[in-house]
Amino acid sequence: MANYQGFRPYLAHARECVTSIDTSEASKLISVDNASIILDVRQSEEYFEGAIPGAIHIPRGVLEECVERIIPVKSVPIIVYCASGVRSVFATRRLEEMDYIDARTMDGGFQRWKDEGRTWITPQYPELPAGQTYIDQFIE
């Protein structure tokens, strides 16, 4: 980016380019529309401390490498969240650049979701073969 002005302007521009929804709207879409995918882009440690039920976890750092394998249909509605709503903005922007046509970022992220008393779970670590780490499953 030739005219990079720093993180805050970069984030502001990314926010302008994506569709944002609040936690209330996200909750309605999740409960009414089982066709929506909930995408958690936080780090693995964050995910295993708590997540929205039914969320697919793809850490932001491996999104580009993994998303087309895990979510191959690019027309499916996707609700993207992170801890506070920053990483999800960048992830949503990237999904749009990768031709996902209905990706939205959830304002306030998982922290707001929890603060509002919405349902969440504590995911269990998967059983993995000896020597394999959780993140290995994302990388081909």
CATH of the domain at 45: 3.40.250.10
Q: What tens digit of pLDDT does each residue of 21-61 get?
A: 999 999 999 887 677 999 999 999 999 999 999 999 999 99
pLDDT band of 15, cuts 50, 70, 90: confident
Determine the structural domain holding residue 25 and report its residue range: 20-119
- When divided into structural domains, the chain yields a total of 1
80 belongs to a structural domain? yes
48 belongs to a structural domain? yes
For the chain, how are helix, strand and coil distributed in percent, rounded to 5? Answer: 40, 15, 45
109 belongs to a structural domain? yes
Residue 134 reports pLDDT greater than 70: no
pTM, whole model, 2 decimals? Answer: 0.86
The mean predicted confidence, pLDDT, of the chain is 89
Percent of the chain with pLDDT over 90: 71
Q: Which residues contact 47 (CB under 8 A, 6 or more apart)?
A: 40, 55, 57, 59, 123
